[in-house]
Amino acid sequence: MDRGSQSDTASGAEEAGCAPVRSTALPPCVVFEDDDLLVVNKPPGWNTHAPSPYAGEGIYEWLRHREPRWSDLSILHRLDKETSGLMVFGKTPEANRSLARQFEQRQVRKVYRMRTDRKSMRDEWTADSSIIRAGDRYVARPRAAGMDPAETRFRAVASGDDGTEWEVVPVTGRTHQIRVHAAEGGIPLLGDPLYGGTPAPRLHLAACRLSFAHPRTGETVGWSIDPEWAEDPRILLRRAVIVPGETDAFRCLNGGSDAGARGLHLDAWGPFHLLYSDPEEGSPGWETPGRVCGLEVLNLYHRPLNRRVGKSVVGENDPKWVWGATAPESFNVRENGVRYEIRFDQGYSVGLFLDQRDNRRRLLTGHVAAGFPPMGPGREVLNCFAYTCAFSVCAALAGARTTSLDLSRKYLDWGRRNFSLNGLDPEGHGFVFGDVFDWMRRWAKRGRRFDTVLLDPPTFSRSKERGDFRAERDYGPLVELATSVLNPGGMLFASTNAARLEPETFLAQVRGGLARAGRRIVAEHWMPQPPDFPVSRDEPAYLKTVWLRLS
């Protein structure tokens, strides 16, 4: 398949009698795809697979749930989180068997590049040992009976004042094998302090060449990439998932998960950047004009975190200009090819929640995850707490008829403008002003039903009809009520950004509401934050989302 085009997807689905699928461009991390293989270039700082159930997705999970044809992807080998480079996933059982056999018989050729600032008296050598775990590290031990062998071949390929670059071939595939053998040989990797290397912005280890026999044809196929040592790893992560020309609104720095950005969150909004800073963490984050935490930023706005938003005066939470060009009263950004109106004069939120990008894409393409049937056109979609109706726009572009419900007429009008921006007639869709609980009770009594109900409430809200809503307390009753307007076999989307609400508690509330309503879960998919919102101990996950198909 041509890497940049998926135009056949929709037409092929229509010919097969299935729901047409609106396609988006392949993510830039994809190097090659055919009917059997998917080859990607994993950036540093991204796990191969999720380290725990509620952490951010690894590249495997993110890809597997992105496209229907990738639903059967299989992991055949792994790269450490901080190691970058080429990986291959099998798409069919036949490809998986062939590649698994080639890996087991050491017929797959993997060539790495590494950099070190240490000198070596040798230009070429082979490490041959066993490797065992010792606490949070691994150590080399002499080969002995009963211990798995570990063999790595090193060859110096370039040398300069800043260090030496080596070509490395791991004959075997033990955990941390290259890192352990490099340190044992006196040339620990740059960026690998765990094994004695000099600290650096990234681990200087990349899988640069990969070749094997194609599982269908038997012909040798191979790929090579540039390790891009000089590029900022924070940029490489976003570059792997953000398609230029299709998306220009995304998170550039996500607090403590990005080096040097603790207490800081930087978002790109088309030509402008907006920096959110936590005054309790100290510096607002910019250095000389044009740079924020080492990243080039031409047009910067800033807004300090306000922990008393509900008690703020008008304009207090508006982003303030810092340098570069000034933003117009309103301007447009693109996300997955969809256009949205953005404003920097509306307080805390500027018109779009970037952490829901992948979920909006699910509505746009009609594909939720592996194991879910497609969401076809003609569906009735209820978007509760609709804000500026971004979810509704994506669903409408996929052929759904949407009803957007919100307590703010101002935001519903903004939503109508987003519809018009994308060539959609707002008159063909519903925009309802009022309290979510009140309207869902009315619709339930009238027998009004929807095929999909979207719940993404604010952590706290207040209405005259109901009073206060708190996600930590009221999510279960909200879900229970939502099922009263959801058709059998319908889809429920439940999401919250309440940081203090633990994933297990959130899911318990959702399932409790479903149990009280007598609805059974047919399919379930947990959806964490997108990759440009990386998760770490210093920046734990806050967004919690589950897609549910109900009986």
Catalytic residue positions, numbered: 80
Distance CA 312, CA 308 (A): 7
DSSP code for 36: S
Instruction: Provide the phi-psi class of 6: left if phi over 0, else alpha when psi is between -120 and 50, else beta.
Output: alpha
Distance CA 479, CA 515 (A): 10
User: Which pairs with CB-CB distance under 8 Å and at least 24 residues apart come from 221-226?
Assistant: 222/109, 223/31, 223/32, 223/39, 223/86, 224/86, 225/31, 225/41, 225/85, 225/86
Q: Are 204 and 229 in contact (CB under 8 A)?
A: yes
Question: CB neighbours of 446 closer than 8 A, spacing ≥ 6?
Answer: none
For β-strands 74-75 and 84-90, DSSP reports them as antiparallel
Q: Are 156 and 164 in contact (CB under 8 A)?
A: yes
Residue located via tokens 């009238």: 446
CA angle 127, 129, 134 (to 5 degrees): 115
Give the helix ranges, DSSP H, for 387-468. 390-397, 409-421, 436-446
Distance CA 233, CA 46 (A): 10
For β-strands 320-323 and 544-550, DSSP reports them as unpaired
Nearest to 524 by CA among 497, 546, 496: 546
Q: Are 304 and 284 in contact (CB under 8 A)?
A: yes
Estimate the share of the chain in helix, then strand, then coil, as percent rounded to the nearest 5.
25, 30, 45
Distance CA 172, CA 155 (A): 17
Which tokens belong to 305? Answer: 């975190």
